[in-house]
Amino acid sequence: MPMSADDLSDIKPKLEAAKKNPVGFAVCLGNTPATTVILFSKTKEPKSLVLAAKKAGETNKTTFGTITVEEGIATLRCADDVPSGLCKRVKGLFALQKITLKVKAFDPSGKATDTDEDDVTGAPQQVAPAQEASVRAADQATTPNPGQPAPGAPTSETVAAREAQRNEAWDKIVAAVGPRVDDYVKGGAEKAPQVAAAWKGALAVAKAGRFDDAMLVVNKIMPLLKDAVRSEAMVPRVEIPVTPPLEVPIQAEIPAAPPPPEPPKAETQAAKPKASFKPEDLTKAARLWRETFKSMQAEMAKLQVAIAKHLSPDPRMAEISAKAADLSDRLDVFDTDLSDALDVAAKADPDAISSLRDEALGHLDRYMQAIETPFFRDVDEANGFAKVAVAAIARRSLGALGKILA
């Protein structure tokens, strides 16, 4: 049966949205383009749309995944088997809505398996004359004459500039995600071999210019990397928005990263308690840490601006750029516990200062351990976006505080 008027009117807006970011879809093939059903959602899991599409359709031929639109081509990246004739039917359905697009489909492994050039079922489609004329017009509008460029085709200069921009954006992703993959693989997690193979696959397909496929692979492995980050109190430099997964069956080994250097012990760990402390010294130490934290926040803000500047030219990186705002949350580990303990110690009785000093030293040691995690080891100069001094400022201040409390 044909799609409802509401669902038909939803096609154009969703295809416009798919020019910026992948949009989830589910399709139930009909015997003709007019009876084919395709449903879209930017928020629901594509698989959840299959039942509704099948209920509105007339066959059991269904699939789902994400759709993107670029340079007059709608690309269906299916997370399920690709039914024969998918692209031909979908292209015909679009033509009936006066939407001129070529359609390509990829199976879950990333292999192109269907095209709108011919009906791979081998059976003639039963299309009404008016519908057949619309489909033929779509074919003629999207297929250039031999030796002539397609109408509105980008110039070679435009293509080169776009490719350069996409290459630069991908380089930023590699700089952000690569170290996290290395840490994950080196940690010996249960799925380390799969993550290593998937990342290697992403690098391979990106090298071939298939950046959309590479990003889908990155989105597949990011939940695992985020789980590892939460368990180790570490974070990646930028977060990748998660979209429906695309498996890339490329098996490769990534050499294990060399073990990180042993975190230096805080100068205060072996310090011997002094008999007494001047209250003004403790007050000075509390003020020093508060000023240090403000400086760290300013440096992190500088990094956030740099990320936005690098990624904002590419519309598809807009969501990633927006996620940079979350980087300031990574400083939450450097809380106010140290400065609060120093304030209390500055006002305490002399007999209580020694125990309060030990409490402050505990917070200081915790900060020293945090500043030596992989994220803060790399954030200043190896973040891939800008040179900042988040960790350097913290190290200098923590060293000075250690001497005051020694």
pLDDT in tens, 181-225: 888 888 878 788 888 888 888 888 788 777 777 787 887 788 777
DSSP 320-360: HHHHGGGGGGGGGGS-SHHHHHHHHHHHS-HHHHHHHHHHH
Q: Closest Cα partner for 63 from 99, 103, 96?
A: 103
User: Which comes out higher in pLDDT, residue 320 or 206?
Assistant: 206
Three-state SS at 315 = helix
Average pLDDT in the 104-121 region? 70
Query: 362: pLDDT confidence band, cut at 50, 70 and 90?
Result: confident
Quick one: pLDDT band at residue 91, thresholds 50, 70, 90? very high
State phi, psi for 253 to the nearest 5 degrees: -110, 135
| pLDDT score for 383 | 72
Return the SS3 of 1: coil
> How do 62-70 and 73-78 pair as beta strands?
antiparallel
Domain borders along the chain are: 5-142, 156-232, 279-405
Read off the pLDDT band of 118 (50, 70, 90).
very low
Chain segment 22-46, per-residue pLDDT in tens? 899 999 999 889 999 999 998 888 8
- Model confidence over 267-293: pLDDT tens digits? 444 444 444 567 788 888 889 999 999
